[in-house]
Amino acid sequence: MKKRKRICSLIVFCLVALGCGSGEPGGTSAITTTAKGLVRIPEGSPQRAFIKVESVQESEAAGALTLTGRIAFDEDHTQRVSSPIDGRVTALVVEPGDSVKAGQRLLELTSPDVGRIQADAQKALQDLGVAQKALDRTHKLRADGAVSERELALVEAESKKAMADVERATAQLKSLGISASDPAVNAALRAQISGTVVARTVLVGQEVRADAADPLVTITNLETVWVLADVYEQDLGLVEAGDTVLLHTVAYADDTFSGVIAHVGDVVDPQTRTVKVRCTFPNHDRRLKPEMFVKVDVMTKAGKKVIMIPSRAVVTEGEHAKVIVQAEGNVFSERAIEIGPEREGKVRVLGGLRPGEKIVTDGAIFLDAELRD
């Protein structure tokens, strides 16, 4: 319908131009060609009724940039639970959707590695005891001048190594929910954070491996979510960490969610020429769901200016855009410009126009046809 209306208006414009250029007595001079790519439309000619000219102006950048993105887990408050040992699942304690607390059991598994880890931990404790006694004795001998500094340094190194072995073994035992002195029992994998179980990929009786790529259970705190958006290279000057952003979703078309830009990426994707932007949003009511597609309006800090023009002023040819610029003496010409995406009937000019220049905002398509002749 819009295209048909433009064609009809163009026909009317051409008829008016032909009528005024008929050379009849008393007719006002119509469109005239002054040079290649230039046309002149005198004041008072009927064609001017179809043309509106406005000055290009700068405006505040706030809200001028809209990004597309998707909602993701807040990775600062997400745990993907894998097994540190090979084994077989004997019990599942949680299901997807369950709320869990830090330290809560998620699943149990049995493994021959449990006994070995306990034995390694007991040996590490024994070795540490021997190393500590040797260190105490060496310090006394050193005070009496019976051993050298080099001998003392070697004993201290052995003591530090024994302490590191104990810490490593203790961490392994803690991750399995057992101690070195317990009889051989099933290992238990536990939550390290409080949150919601959003995925569980394991079943009772299933064998699991320590080198598996996929987590067994995923927990995240949905009180906050991330939005990962893409900003084009030419728009980088309009975004920075700390800017307020407003989120819009199809699911809640009448609602707006407020967040903040947490990080602007440091690398431009060579294929899309975009940079990743990470925003954080509070989500206390859990309405924002991970993997939703969203639009984000960037409320740029005060002081930044952009050029916005009506989208109807832009004439497109494939991927190229241009406007009709008015010069002195009512002379009009085409000008190639670079634009951003359309938003609420306006587009942002990225290059090709300067504030103060005059462009045709109504009737651009008519003049474009005349300039092509």
Domain-by-domain residue ranges, the chain? 2-61+305-372, 65-74+222-299, 78-219
Which amino acid makes up residue 78? T
Closest CA to 122 of 84, 185, 188, 179: 179
CB atoms within 10 A of CB 73: 20
CATH class as words, domain 2-61+305-372? mainly beta
Give, in order, the Cα–Cα distances in Å from 355 to each of 59, 238, 300, 311, 352: 10, 18, 20, 17, 10
| Separation CA 172–CA 113 (nearest Å) | 11
Rounded distance between C-alpha atoms, residue 361 and residue 54, angstroms: 7
Residues 55-71 have pLDDT tens digits of 888 877 666 688 999 99
Question: CA–CA separation, 246 vs 9, rounded Å?
Answer: 39
Q: Which CATH number fits domain 65-74+222-299: 3.30.230.10, 3.50.50.60, 1.10.3720.10, 2.40.30.170?
A: 2.40.30.170
For tokens 């996929």, name the residue.
214
CB burial of residue 7 (10 Å; 0-12, 13-18, 19+) = exposed
Q: pLDDT category, 3, cuts 50, 70, 90? A: very low
pLDDT tens-place string over residues 200-222 = 999 999 999 988 889 999 999 99
Residue 4 has pLDDT above 60, yes or no: no
pLDDT in tens, 233-292: 878 888 999 999 999 999 999 999 999 999 999 999 999 889 999 999 999 999 999 999
Query: Residue 227 pLDDT more than 90?
Result: yes
**How far from 179 is each of 90, 173, 183, 201, 214, CA to CA, in Å?**
19, 6, 9, 27, 27
Q: What's the mean pLDDT in 104-110? A: 90
Regarding the domain delimited by 78-219, which CATH topology (the fold level of the hierarchy) does it fall under?
OB fold (Dihydrolipoamide Acetyltransferase, E2P) (2.40.50)
pLDDT in tens, 91-100: 999 999 999 9
**What's the average model confidence in pLDDT over 125-130?**
86
248-270 in b/e burial notation, b at 16+ Cβ within 10 A?
ebeeeeeeebebebbeeeeeeee
Residue 209 · residue 85 · CB < 8 Å: no
pTM (2 d.p.): 0.66
| Consecutive H or E run containing 358 | strand 358-362
Angle at 240 between CA 277 and CA 304, to 5 degrees: 130
- The two tokens of residue 50 are 């179809």
Q: Distance between CA atoms of 31 and 11, rounded to whole angstroms?
A: 15
C-alpha 267/C-alpha 373 separation (Å) is 46
| DSSP codes, 192-240 | SS-EEEEEE---TT-EE-TT-SS-SEEEE-TTEEEEEEEEEGGGGGG--
